[in-house]
Amino acid sequence: MSQLAGKTVIITGSSRGVGADTAQILAVQGANIIVNYRSKAPRANKVVKAIEEAGGHATAVQADVTKSEDLTNLVNVAIETYGSLDYLILNASGGMETGMGEDYAMRLNRDAQLNLARLAAEKMPNGGRIVFVTSHQAHFIREVETLAEYQSVAESKRAGEDALIAEIPALTEKGISLVVVSADMIEGTVTATLLNRLHPGALEYRRETAGRLYTVNEFAHEVAAMVTADVQTGHVELVGGARGFID
């Protein structure tokens, strides 16, 4: 029997992209999936339908992760629906949107991540795990410059990572581990496509430097694997290595 059979996983920002693929991968392994979305219900429902048609279990839950009341509801629905909350994947991020306020990136990529991690940790059992999804451009922002349009995202995601790492002692007391999963630009994501449009050749440069870039589905498999990977709390998984960042 799969280690995930009957376990419940919240995946933020899972109505599309890496989050959606991760949801479907984990559902095949027997996990109950909470598909979180901010505003696009049809997309989230499509993910749920695909999971259910494959014999899995999933529920779509609307929640703007920057709103505390939405976070509380997200956690409560998971437990009310499936009886437990065992794993949390912090996948939702942003900050390149316009009209959201100057502090939006930090509220989303740092504050919301920490707030949800703390809420979830209060309900998770011993042996639970929180997985934080980030990018090399954010993880290494203090060592390597990034594109100007991504700067605020990178800085705020690194701040979110730091805040979660600082939370490890409190999580450890509850028997919960934290793992960070980072990758270079991901082929086919909205962010990578937008940055390449603003800076033609940016993707090709990263491909040449890294050797290759992961696709959405490939990276989703790496994220899914880290939910149950035998690693120590605080582990940072540099998917595909980090050429151009540390070597």
Q: CATH number for the domain including 142? A: 3.40.50.720
Beta-sheet strands, E only, within the chain: 8-11, 32-37, 57-62, 87-90, 129-135, 177-183, 235-238
Q: How many domains does the chain have?
A: 1
* pLDDT tens sequence across 180-232: 999 999 988 888 888 888 889 888 889 988 889 999 999 999 999 999 999 99
Task: Write out the residue range of the structural domain in which residue 95 sits.
Answer: 8-186+215-233
Residue 169 confidence (pLDDT) above 80: yes
Is position 203 within any domain? Answer: no
- Measured CA to CA, the distance from residue 136 to residue 139 in angstroms comes to 5
pLDDT for position 99 = 65
* pLDDT tens sequence across 69-108: 999 999 999 999 999 999 999 999 887 666 677 789 999 9
Is position 60 within any domain? Answer: yes
Is position 134 within any domain? Answer: yes
**Dihedral sign, Cα of residue 16, residue 153, residue 133, residue 168:** negative
* pLDDT tens sequence across 28-45: 999 999 999 998 899 999
Is position 143 within any domain? Answer: yes
Is position 200 within any domain? Answer: no
Is position 141 within any domain? Answer: yes
* pLDDT tens sequence across 229-245: 999 999 999 999 999 89
pLDDT for position 244 = 87
Q: What is the pTM of this model?
A: 0.95
Is position 24 within any domain? Answer: yes
Is position 121 within any domain? Answer: yes
Alpha-helix runs per DSSP H in 143-201: 151-166, 168-173, 190-198
pLDDT for position 2 = 84
